[in-house]
């Protein structure tokens, strides 16, 4: 069994990104810009935003966090997004989720310019992914694909099962696996005899949001197991959706939690901001 070390891979890619950013600035004067809008004081969101800001600065980006009160109106938030849509200095716009109940999340995501939607959540970008012409793609599945590449895990012809059907992970993950010539099944909490279906997988991606949900009974010997879960146990310890200790006994490769998929998500977010900057330069005739 081999641990897929997402932390080490993320550090490697972030180092390469910092070098690319420095070259871009020296050659063209362009600097990728990422703005994150944080509504309210949610503690988990504060941590995520701080990590994003730290990564952006480490990559040499222009970074800004706009903190607004939970009482902001939907119209005020839409006006703020419009301002950054029109500002050429900013290539990536993120609105940290979740949002307060009085704000329509879908309307907010729709308001972000698809060319600056580095989260890849806009329906335009989702449609491009599903039609085989991806531009901005959700960062977590993008990071998982980089893991497969780094560890030379060939997906062509493999049976892949994705447990979880969210727009953020499950659905885009399935499409990326299809693009890599895997045969893909999307499963979820209501799938009949889920363990038996999962045992058919050469590659098992678990993003169901339930701590230690997937046990050894779900895993075919020699399978590659990717754990996207981030849950807290009764002691507050961070755990994945996969019961790591017992599944590691049968898997060929497995991602630990923490230190697996998580670090790659922010790394790919930064990569997409860099790419958005390149695309903006092409649009402005700087290439």
C-alpha torsion 274→138→11→222, nearest 10: -140
Q: Which of 5, 14, 52, 202 is catalytic?
A: 52
**Cα–Cα distance measured from residue 202 to residue 223, given in angstroms and rounded to the nearest whole number:** 5
Mark whether 175 is an active-site residue: no
pLDDT tens digits, one per residue of 244-261: 999 999 999 999 999 999
Confidence of residue 281 (pLDDT cuts 50, 70, 90): confident
Task: Determine whether 233 is an active site residue.
Answer: no
Do 29-113 and 139-262 share a fold? yes
Instruction: Among 3.40.50.1370, 3.40.50.720, 3.40.50.1820, 3.65.10.10, name the CATH number for the domain at 139-262.
Output: 3.40.50.720
The catalytically annotated residue of 119, 202, 227, 241 is 119
Known binding residues for NADP(+):
164-166
Active site annotation includes 193: no
pLDDT score recorded for residue 44: 84
DSSP string for 3-24: E--HHHHHHHHHHHHHHHHHHH
pLDDT of residue 228: 97
The model carries a pTM of: 0.93
CATH assignment of 29-113, among 1.10.760.10, 3.40.50.10860, 3.40.109.10, 2.60.40.3080: 3.40.50.10860
| Mean pLDDT across 258-274 | 96
Domain boundaries, the chain: 29-113, 139-262
């Amino acid at each position: 069994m081999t641990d897929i070390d997402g932390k080490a891979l993320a550090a490697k890619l972030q180092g390469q990104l910092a070098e690319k950013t420095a070259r871009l600035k020296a050659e063209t004067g362009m600097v990728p810009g990422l703005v994150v809008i944080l509504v309210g004081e949610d503690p988990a969101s504060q941590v995520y935003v701080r990590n994003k800001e730290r990564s952006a600065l480490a990559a040499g980006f222009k970074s800004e966090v706009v903190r607004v009160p939970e009482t902001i109106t939907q119209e005020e938030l839409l006006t703020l997004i419009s301002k950054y849509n029109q500002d050429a200095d900013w290539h990536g716009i993120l609105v940290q989720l979740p949002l307060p109940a009085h704000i329509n999340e879908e309307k907010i995501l729709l308001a972000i310019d698809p060319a600056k939607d580095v989260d890849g959540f806009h329906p335009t970008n989702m449609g491009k992914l599903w039609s085989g012409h991806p531009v901005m793609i959700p960062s977590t599945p993008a990071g998982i694909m980089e893991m497969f590449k780094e560890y030379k895990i060939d997906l062509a012809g493999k049976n892949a099962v994705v447990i979880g059907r969210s727009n953020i992970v499950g659905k885009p993950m399935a499409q990326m696996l299809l693009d890599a010539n895997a045969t893909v099944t999307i499963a979820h909490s209501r799938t009949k005899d889920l363990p038996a279906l999962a045992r058919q997988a050469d590659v098992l991606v678990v993003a169901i949001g339930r701590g230690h949900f997937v046990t050894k009974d779900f895993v075919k010997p020699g399978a590659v197991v990717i754990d996207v879960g981030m849950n807290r146990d009764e002691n507050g310890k961070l755990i994945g959706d996969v019961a790591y200790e017992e599944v590691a006994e049968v898997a060929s490769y497995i991602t630990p939690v923490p230190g697996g998929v998580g670090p790659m998500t922010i790394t790919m977010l930064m990569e997409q901001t860099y790419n958005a900057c390149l695309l903006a330069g092409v649009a402005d005739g700087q290439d």
